Amino acid sequence: MSTKSGLVFAYILEGGSGRPIGWDGVDGWRPDQGILWLHLDYADEGAKQWLVENSGIDDVSCAALMAQETRPRVLSSGDSLLLILRGINFNPGADLDDMVAIRMWFDEHRIISMRHRRVMAMDDINKSIEIGKGPASVGEFLTMAASKLADRMGDVIGDIDDGVDELEDLVLTAEGHHLRPKLADLRRQTIGLRRYISPQRDVLARLQSERVAWLNDVDRVRIREVAERTARFVDDLDSARDRAAITQEELNSVLSEQMNKTMYVLSIVAAIFLPLGLITGLLGINVGGVPGTENQSAFAYVSILLVGFALAQYVIFKRMKWI
């Protein structure tokens, strides 16, 4: 099974386990052998050619499976079902909110899933099959895929919620300027995830009502549970976004208060030294008649005068409750 051919992996599913096959096994597969699952790279020309020429899938579904940009959607035609979902991007160096799409097509005997970037939920199903705990039917595969995607979403959204809690605690105690980039990154991540997860919630809600023969009542109950979890994720992201906005306002208020205190101190210092600077400026002009020029003790007298003047200003400001 070479990834250069566009085939990431393929199985004939048999009651929870699976027999791995290559392109030869795919071409020779018959429905009486078991359920066929192909996991393909839609960017590979070999996978595209097989999908168009040999899969037997209608043109609309083929175009949706190979599209460069897509969004969550569900489309049924007879006993076949096209489902496009998104998952958290856990690939190295990628942003979590840059979600990856998994495109899936189902009928009673076949499952075709396509991706370009690695989708960890599909790898999870692959590992479950290897240990004999994989899906035993097409409907169970669908519900397992949706559940695995939701599980990984839940972990990330839980971390976001914890991050907001931490920033709320730190905003009044830590240095505000260091919290700004963290808070901005958290808000960006929250907004990005919600933009992708919100349509997925609607797709899963609609999926429950799709009438295909191989989707039984138990599968529909599981899909409803995943849809409700996804709806809670959207609510959690809304809450995190609102809390982050409030935290941002509180942080701006703290920074503004710190700036006001700093400016107030500088104003007091300027008010004390302004008259002192005026006196020293007058005594330093190069014109005749400046008192004390011939007196050796004049500098000491002037210094004492300036200190006394400053102390007098301090007392006055204190009584006026300026400091």
User: What is the Cα–Cα distance from 198 to 34, expressed in whole angstroms?
Assistant: 35
Pair of tokens at residue 141: 């595969």
CB of 162 within 8 A of CB of 170? no
Helices (H), the chain: 23-27, 45-53, 59-66, 120-130, 138-170, 176-207, 217-283, 298-319
Q: What mean pLDDT do residues 228-252 have?
A: 89
Say whether pLDDT at 3 is over 50.
no
More confident residue, 89 or 204: 204
User: For 143-201, how does the pLDDT look when each residue is reduced to its tens digit (9 = 90+)?
Assistant: 999 999 999 888 889 888 888 888 887 876 666 667 778 888 888 888 888 888 889 99
Q: What mean pLDDT do residues 194-222 have?
A: 90
CB of 12 within 8 A of CB of 109? no
Report which of 143, 144, 159 is spatially closest to residue 90, judged by C-alpha positions.
159
Say whether pLDDT at 2 is over 60.
no
What pLDDT score was predicted for residue 80? 92
On the 0-12 / 13-18 / 19+ scale of CB atoms within 10 A, 276 is middle
In the block, tokens 């099974």 appear at 1
- The fold for domain 3-254 equals Beta Polymerase; domain 2 (3.30.460)
Say whether pLDDT at 124 is over 60.
yes
Percent of the chain with pLDDT over 90: 32
Report which of 220, 243, 223, 221 is spatially closest to residue 231, judged by C-alpha positions.
223
Strands 7-14 and 17-20: antiparallel
Quote the Cα angle for 151-157-158, to 5°: 90
What's the one-letter identity of residue 144? M
CB of 122 within 8 A of CB of 102? yes
User: What is the Cα–Cα distance from 33 to 64, expressed in whole angstroms?
Assistant: 28
Supply φ then ψ for residue 81, to 5 degrees: -140, 130
Strands 17-20 and 35-41: unpaired
Strands 110-115 and 100-106: antiparallel
Instruction: Indicate the domain borders of the chain.
Output: 3-254
User: What is the Cα–Cα distance from 198 to 95, expressed in whole angstroms?
Assistant: 18
Strands 17-20 and 73-77: unpaired
Please list, in sequence order, all residues whose beta carbon lies within 8 angstroms of the beta carbon of residue 66, skipping any fewer than 6 positions away: 42, 48, 51, 114
CB of 309 within 8 A of CB of 276? yes
Report which of 248, 256, 236 is spatially closest to residue 168, judged by C-alpha positions.
248
What's the one-letter identity of residue 80? S
User: For 50-83, how does the pLDDT look when each residue is reduced to its tens digit (9 = 90+)?
Assistant: 999 888 898 889 998 988 878 899 998 888 999 9
- To the question of pTM greater than 0.85 for the whole model, the response is no
